[in-house]
Chains A and B, each alone.
Chain A
């Protein structure tokens, strides 16, 4: 993720993504959007550190608390 961080340029990301999403980012909006993209990237770096098993992808599209795989691991 460190490499990804170095590679993430929020301004360039905005310029690439906005047209494909049909969004027009005004001058007034631009700095704020860049700031929030940078904040989201920092959060993405934190979640990347979660020690999830590499060969699983448990997303729980409808999240039901209390039904974890705790018993299996205990």
Chain B
């Protein structure tokens, strides 16, 4: 039988488990699609075909032997190239890291999906060292938006958003420090989950900014997103920021709906006046979920500034040695920001960490009155590749930092967020569903409602 590359992952796994289709057939279909489509999109930097085919064959042998198969049996997935992949140098979007010793073991989240039967098919393009919202990369070339190849995929998890949107990987893994899962989810029109800070261990992934780094999944289907999230959960002793919580599965409650939840629209800093596509998407989601009030979220601008400074200072400190020895080998679009970050006065950084704590406490008060907050994910759909400035509410602003305007204050305090795609008339655009810490169940249940109502869908791209 032919393989539908846009079928949900859980359906592919069910077909593999039942024997309707072999894992090797599935994997070969996706490898063929990657070889045909990816030269246009540029989502993959490595395709791990040999490993993938060997694992798929092992799954087929296991089934033939009557052994039980995992919940993602035979489902291809791919990971942003800051995740360690055994046998590959972890490049993290850079030129410099290609000289690293190849990883001797997969990142823990790759191991967890693999243990569930999912098949790693490659490493994905990303902005250099994750300091990016565009998906552009001087070393590997820009990752292109599958809905319009002349436009940005969004970053920094550009390949994750694009590969999943383009039917090249039903599930992908990315990281989000200031919006790097939510921005490409929005621009590529897929679902993305940034869990609570500390929920998923970052063990054996290349860091960007320890105070703010999160990892999470992308999918084209909410059931897949929740399933992947459930399989990724669990403590790991090697990430000091991991909260070491037990697995709190969401999949079984996914269809329980949102009745009884107090749902609010974010106003103030998050208002969408003058942002027509974002306004339409947020309005559609708010109406569908029955949002009854608006909350101002005072202090979001301060949180955004705090995230900017914490990111700049921590990431620059991480890269100081490389900046001293070989700054010319950095992508020019990240280099000068890293260099500036090495020089920030300590008082700025410390005040940013104080402001972070303050905004967190503000938001916890808000969550005494509401259970779910709706906010735009990006101010606009995907801009053209190469665009440098962005008009937001009549102001001309630098595009690179501005794409994360609405995501940055939220990751600053580690709240769980589902980015949900609204297809729109032309390009998709995402909306953030934001819940209190550790309540990923709320954002995923709301995302499921929106998918059932067909308000939020990951539409197959027409451009490829």
Contacts and interface: CB of A to CB of B under 8 A. Distances in A.
Contacts of B240: 62
Interface in A24-74: 24-26, 29, 32-37, 39-44, 46-52, 56-60, 62-66, 68-70, 73-74
B235 interface: no
B284 to A, nearest CB: 29
A40 B348 contact: yes
B305 A43 contact: yes
Given A33-B343, A58-B354, A74-B365, 12 more contacts: A17-B342, A21-B343, A22-B324, A32-B336, A43-B308, A46-B301, A50-B306, A52-B358, A57-B354, A59-B357, A63-B356, A65-B197
B299 interface: yes
B351 A50 contact: yes
Contact of B358 (A21, A34, A36, A51): A51
B353 A70 contact: no
Interface residues on A, range: 35 or more
Contacts of A34: 340
Interface of A: 13-14, 17-18, 21-26, 29, 32-37, 39-44, 46-52, 56-60, 62-66, 68-70, 73-74
Contacts of B365: 70, 74
Contact of B438 (A22, A43, A56, A65): A65
Contacts of B336: 29, 32-33, 35-36
A39 B327 CA distance: 20
A23 B353 CA distance: 26
Contact of B343 (A17, A48, A66): A17
B453 interface: no
B364 A47 contact: no
A47 B197 contact: no
A23 to B, nearest CB: 6
Contact of A62 (B241, B352, B357): B241
Nearest to A13: B343
Nearest to A41: B348
A68 B438 CA distance: 14
A65 B351 contact: no
A3 B149 CA distance: 48
